[in-house]
Amino acid sequence: MFYADRIIVAFDGSENSKKALQTAIDLAKTVNAAITVAHSHDMKDNQTIIDPPRPAAGASYIGGGMTSVPDPLISDVAPPEPMIYEDRTEEVIAEARMMLNDQQTEGDIDILEGDPAESIIEHANRVSADLIVTGSRDQNRLKKLLFGSVSEKLSAKSDIPVLIVK
């Protein structure tokens, strides 16, 4: 028989992580375990990205690669808007809380920073988790080969058992 006092669930709001959370809730009810939902986000994924500087409209290059910049008051071209990657943390946490509430299940929700696999493993060790539950994300082969998946990294690097839910 399987025993667990604490189950930690890697949750990013995707359909597969919702399946993982549902599985963890069901398992926690069966073995009377506490649940910790862990949402990890890498800060470098949430940075503001601004296009590299380029000559303003009407600017021309002069010796040494420097630009001669026209008077900004005369320019009729608006500067480009920066691209911003928005952070979905609040939305993801609300989804997890709603799932827990719908199942009348108590659980902690922790927000982690850094590489998802590494931060989840560190947190699982810190809270003395007996099991890590994660969803399996379908990726194309090239992306999986180049970057790997969080579930693969968790199962390869964790000393705590990992349940991958499909």
> Which tens digit of pLDDT belongs to each residue from 11-33?
999 999 999 999 999 999 999 99
Whether residue 57 has pLDDT greater than 80: no
Domain harbouring 105, CATH code: 3.40.50.620
Residues 122 and 155 in one domain: yes
DSSP string, the chain: ----SEEEEE--SSHHHHHHHHHHHHHHHHHT-EEEEEEEE-GGGGSEE-PPP-PPTT-EE-GGG-EEPPPTTT--SPPPPPEEPPP-HHHHHHHHHHHHHHTT---EEEEEES-HHHHHHHHHHHTT-SEEEEE-----HHHHHHH--HHHHHHHH-SS-EEEE-
Residues 74-115 have pLDDT tens digits of 555 556 654 433 568 889 999 999 999 999 999 999 999 999
pLDDT bucket at 41, cuts 50 / 70 / 90 = confident
Domains of the chain: total? 2
Would residue 1 count as lying in a domain?
no
* Domain housing 18: 6-44+86-165
Residues 18 and 92 in one domain: yes
